A and B are shown apart, each in its own frame.
Chain A
Amino acid sequence: MYAFQYHRPGSLKEAAALLGKLGDGKALAGGQTLIATMKLRLAQPSDLVDLGAITELRGIKVEGDALMIGALTRHAEVAASAEVKKRIPALAVLAGGIGDRQVRAVGTLGGSVANNDPAADYPAGVLGLGATVITTQRKIVADDFFDGMYETALKPGELITAISFPLPKRAAYAKFPNPASRFAMIGVFVSQVANGSVRVAVTGAGGGVFRDAALEKALTANFTPEAVTSVKVSASGLSSDMHASAEYRAHLIGVMAKRAVVAALG
């Protein structure tokens, strides 16, 4: 790790101001990716702005037909939340399956979504539920937020404050972990809203989270495991590495989507 300056502002305003004026500063949310990257000397921020003291960024509440979760809410808090378990149990399951106990105790929703790791779980939940990302500057719908590997619509100095998840009729997340890292080698989030329309978001498969239009169409027409089986998932554009070929990943998208549908149907 290289030397850096550490800041711990007490308010969102102060944090945004700091990040605006620091040339090479980074916001520290949970640090479960950033700190590890810095320890490997793969990142060298001049300053870290720790958001941990900003209490307004934490918490879970119901607002109308949506769950509003603060950006600094820990994975473990989401996983254990009675409100989340009641309104969107799939999101609690997703949060409870991130990393390990230590990661879940420190890692945050906003940190994960802002980082947009191509194998992270939360981006699948955000995109799969059609959530809205609320920042210090605006509201961004999930479809406009994720922009490929580690890239998002966030501008320099713009911070996520909360994410609003619309309550689905039913939803589920099925994850196939990488045997080594246990990140998602494939994770599929499926949700259906009251009017019957379906969203299917896939993580781990390629350069970043994406929706699968063919699966969505088939499942909107017929929300059953058989509908998934009828779709041949294309391997085009998917990652190939020592753990899985693009073809295997495409196959796993189908299997995980089917299992998510079965789970959603309960």
Chain B
Amino acid sequence: MTIKYKSQKIAESFYTFSILLFLVQVLVGIIAAVQFIWPDILILNFNTIRTLHINALVVWLLAGMMGATYYVVPEESETETWSVPLAKLQFWATVLAVTAVIIGYIWMGLSPQANSLVLGTRLLNEGREYIEAPRWADILIVISVLLFLFNNFMTMLKTKKWTGIQGTLLGGLTVLALMYLPGMFYTKSMVEDQFWWWWVVHLWVEGAWEVIAGALLAFMLMKLVGVKREVVEKWMYVEVGLVLFTGILGLGHHYYWIGTPKYWLWVGGIFSSLEPIPLLIMVWDAFRTTREARVVTNKAGLYYTVAHAIFNFVGAGLWGVIHTLPQVNKWTHGTQITTAHGHLAFYGAYVLLVLSIIYVTLPALRGVKEFNSSRALQSFWWMTISMVFIVLTITGAGMVQTYMERLMGLDYVAVKSTYNLWFWIFRVIFGIGFLIGVAIFVKDYFKIGKEPVSAAERG
């Protein structure tokens, strides 16, 4: 198996950048977990480490999705990418911009006064959770994403094969680009600040990103088990449609307590309670189609794809819905329960998605028909078991915190430093387990297609 179009090769650069940042993300994640026990362990404070942990995550997932798009669009359009030099320029511009932003975060962490005001905006760190990147970097990110979208739209225009998969994929990516804009202006009111900030955060991860996930899931099921396009695309429309019907107004579950009107308790409560439904349909879709499969050559790809569907539902769906009703959220809001949900949701919905698409497309990119899937499965179990336990420890910490701090009225610091100490210790241990899984994955990524496969190892 090889790639049909030479330009698809550009996907591999994005994948490599993506998984290196994945490694960085998990390494700093372990440091952050240790800082819950010893806050002063490193010269960089928790805020810098956490910013690196989450920004690395967002960027590596986006880079993975971009790589996937450069692979999927030529295949769906049955032609070469419109401009390979432009794709390469966009890749290196992204790498440079991301590196500059990371250096800025570290600089600001070492010397907060360096975060000076330039043209009305902060030079190194905007001080807004998740979207800390300064305004100059925002502009570079927007330019990079626009070049990326333009290049792929031009590819599609060459043959005008408007398949549902690539239409939905590019549609999701366009919404993603547009939804970055509400985070790019300053407001004097902290209420308004958080209001628009949630547009970016929520309409990305519970909107545009889930649409992209739906399109990529359809593509992978088609490639892995050879389901008819008409069938996968029909279910893809049902899934991404329900994602947006519930998710757009599900935004209301972030507007309960930030100073916005009370009607959001009704809007958010009702719509966000329905958000797990499309994720459950995706699980059913994955099982239904793979049951029909007779011969599967890419066992690892299939494994990760089905796991993505399951953990998307468990992490984003179930772990979200348990605290989404205002009556519950009133007590759990702002506790570790949210952290637990965040970890399992991102692992299931997006980490496994990007790793799946890498396993589905990498054999062709490396020009091999088969590869030994034992390392892929080993890495999968190390990561998944560790993540499940990380999430259970944080959920436990969140339950203790909710009861002791919110219901009993104990002090935040007392609960964190004494009653929850063992949860933090276990989280570090399972964090190291997760790192082992990632290391195995990274090794596998660089080895696939570069070592011989014996007959016994096949499958």
Q: Does B associate with A? A: no
Which chain A residues have a beta carbon within 8 Å of chain B's beta carbons?
A: none
